[in-house]
Amino acid sequence: MATSSVPRSDDLAGDFRPRPRVTKRGVAAVVALFAVTFVAAQSCQKEQIRIDQRQAVEIARPEAGFTPERTQVRIVRQGLNGKPFWAVSFSDETRITTVRIDANTGVIAAVNKER
């Protein structure tokens, strides 16, 4: 009778499959990766331009306080992280009003009126 050098499964005493080991270093790496991903996602979201040029003019128009002859709109990035704002300027012969609007949220950040 021929014998095999490979043991039969019922001859094995226990399960030899390797089991993953959870270490403090592995947990710390997963937490660090999650934190970096979260910060990157938040910073990308803050830099988005969700309010278009037309919407910015509509939001800013009531702040002018007069009927403008000219309107200028431009996107500006301010701060260390380059957050986008719409700068909307309304002017006539004697006055100018500039309204700065957060391009992500549509919130008025500043109003500057000059005569």
What CA–CA distance (Å, rounded) separates 103 from 42? 16
pLDDT, tens digit, 9 for 90 and up, residues 30-47 = 888 888 877 776 666 556
pLDDT, tens digit, 9 for 90 and up, residues 47-76 = 678 999 999 999 999 999 999 999 999 999
What CA–CA distance (Å, rounded) separates 43 from 113? 32
Burial class (CB in 10 A: 0-12, 13-18, 19+), 57: middle
Query: Domain limits of the chain?
Result: 53-114
pLDDT at 101 over 80: yes
pLDDT, tens digit, 9 for 90 and up, residues 8-36 = 555 555 666 777 788 888 888 888 888 88
Token pair 């278009």 is found at 52
Q: What is the pTM of this model?
A: 0.61
CATH architecture of the domain covering 53-114: Roll (3.10)
**Residue 114 or residue 80, greater confidence:** 114
